[in-house]
């Protein structure tokens, strides 16, 4: 598949790079890294994401090239989906993007509807960035500093700074190569983890006040409603990572974060330790992700949503007891 995708990229003239809504470090790092790679091959490239770039990722070299309005799609002969392999994940422009002649997906999520024939999905890879380096090598593109910083950020954010089970020998070998190519671990960590606005700490405090522990300490959950978000003048990006605080508690096997979005629907982020597969929970409600990190969206009042999620969590916890 890698060879086929490399051939398709080589013969492409005008490419669209697109990733999932509410992009994270891997979505943005991969997209912008591949933007640089394709530019060096003399291609016409547009990087599109429906949502704005969170402030913490604005340091990524080349991130200013990302556009949020797609424009006519007829000019593209090829579209690459990065860090997602289901068209619906790209947001409102999914149908128009689906009409582009050649579709390619590079991804590491478990959820994959198989509708894109040219899909390179490696669920064992730490990040989409890690898979992308294989493609960059195959294309004979030099790993420049700009590419390295973007990929390093993708790897660091998706592995929780080399802590999660997706961190392998290959990940560390890649990290060494990226550092050699000019990525500075301190600079990336500082940008990603130590430039948070104060409002995030306030949200954390609000979220902790809602902490609920159930199933004898195995399940922990927090809630943030629209009112709190508004009162703190917080943005959706400020909620990123809050669920990890819950997973950090001894004995907690599944952590849940119920986030009420501006339109009143809930986004539910799930995290787990060990074998507990929260992708299965998210999939039940139309979402997806990985074994230890997944998410879905649900409508209804918070009590009903919590009840349904906890029932589904109970099922997977029974399976891995």
Q: Where along the sequence are the contacts to ligand 5GP (CB under 6 A)?
A: 20, 89, 109, 111, 269, 287-290, 293-297
Question: 255: helix, coil or strand?
Answer: strand
* Of residues 138 and 297, the one with the C-beta less far from ligand 5GP: 297
**CA distances (Å), origin 164, targets 27, 158, 277, 290:** 18, 8, 14, 11
Owner of token pair 């960590």: 189
Interface map 125-144 toward Mn ion (x if CB under 5 A): --xx----------------
**Distance between CA atoms of 59 and 152, rounded to whole angstroms?**
13
**Distance between CA atoms of 171 and 163, rounded to whole angstroms?**
11
φ and ψ of 257, to 5 deg: -125, 115
**Distance between CA atoms of 220 and 213, rounded to whole angstroms?**
4
Interface map 1-40 toward Mn ion (x if CB under 5 A): -------------------------x--------------
Question: 98: helix, coil or strand?
Answer: helix
Q: Which partner from the list Mn ion, ligand 5GP, none does 255 bind, CB cut-off 5 to 8 Å by kind?
A: none
Where does residue 287 rank: exposed (0-12), middle (13-18), buried (19+ CB within 10 A)?
buried
CB of 97 to ligand 5GP, least distance (A): 16
Token output for 239? 């909620």
CB of 158 to Mn ion, least distance (A): 5
* Of residues 29 and 38, the one with the C-beta less far from ligand 5GP: 29
* Of residues 39 and 297, the one with the C-beta less far from ligand 5GP: 297
CB of 42 to ligand 5GP, least distance (A): 32
**CA distances (Å), origin 19, targets 73, 79, 182, 293:** 16, 10, 25, 18
CB of 82 to ligand 5GP, least distance (A): 11
Q: Which partner from the list Mn ion, ligand 5GP, none does 26 bind, CB cut-off 5 to 8 Å by kind?
A: Mn ion
* Of residues 1 and 261, the one with the C-beta less far from ligand 5GP: 261
Q: In this structure, are residues 268 and 259 in contact, taking their beta carbons and an 8 Å threshold?
A: yes
- CA geometry: angle 155, 156, 158, nearest 5 deg: 65
Residue from the set 158, 240, 260, 279 that interacts with Mn ion by CB under 5 A: 158
CB of 159 to Mn ion, least distance (A): 10
Interface map 77-96 toward Mn ion (x if CB under 5 A): ------x-------------
Identify the CA nearest to 6 among candidates 131, 154, 152: 131
* Of residues 206 and 247, the one with the C-beta less far from Mn ion: 247
CB of 259 to ligand 5GP, least distance (A): 9
Longest dimension (CA), the chain: 58
List of residues contacting Mn ion (CB under 5 A) = 26, 83, 127-128, 158
């Amino acid at each position: 598949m890698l060879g086929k995708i490399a051939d398709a990229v080589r013969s492409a003239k005008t490419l669209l790079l697109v990733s999932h809504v509410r992009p994270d470090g891997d979505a943005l790092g991969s997209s912008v890294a591949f933007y640089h790679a394709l530019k060096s091959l003399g291609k016409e490239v547009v990087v599109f994401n429906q949502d704005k770039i969170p402030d913490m990722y604005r340091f990524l070299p080349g991130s200013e090239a990302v556009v949020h309005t797609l424009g006519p799609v007829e000019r593209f002969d090829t579209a690459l989906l990065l860090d997602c392999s289901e068209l619906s994940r790209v947001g409102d422009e999914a149908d128009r993007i689906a009409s582009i002649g050649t579709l390619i997906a590079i991804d590491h999520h478990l959820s994959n509807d198989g509708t894109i024939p040219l899909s390179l999905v490696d669920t064992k890879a730490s990040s989409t960035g890690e898979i992308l380096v294989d493609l960059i090598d195959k294309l004979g593109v030099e790993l420049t500093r700009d590419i390295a910083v973007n990929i390093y950020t993708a790897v660091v954010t998706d592995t929780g700074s080399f802590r999660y089970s997706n961190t392998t020998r290959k990940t560390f070998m890649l990290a060494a190569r990226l550092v050699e190519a000019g990525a500075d671990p301190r600079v990336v960590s500082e940008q990603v983890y130590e430039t948070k606005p104060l409002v995030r700490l306030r949200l954390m405090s609000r979220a902790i006040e809602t902490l609920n522990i159930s199933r004898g300490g195995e399940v922990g959950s927090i809630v943030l409603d629209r009112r709190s978000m508004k009162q703190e003048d917080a943005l959706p990006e400020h909620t990123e990572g809050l669920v990890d605080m819950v997973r950090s508690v001894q004995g907690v096997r599944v952590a849940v974060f119920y986030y009420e979005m501006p339109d009143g629907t809930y986004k539910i982020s799930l995290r787990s330790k060990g074998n507990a597969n929260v992708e299965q929970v998210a999939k039940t409600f139309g979402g997806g992700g990985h074994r230890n990190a997944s998410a879905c969206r649900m409508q209804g009042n918070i009590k009903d949503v919590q009840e349904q999620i906890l029932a589904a969590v109970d099922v997977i916890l029974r399976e891995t007891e």
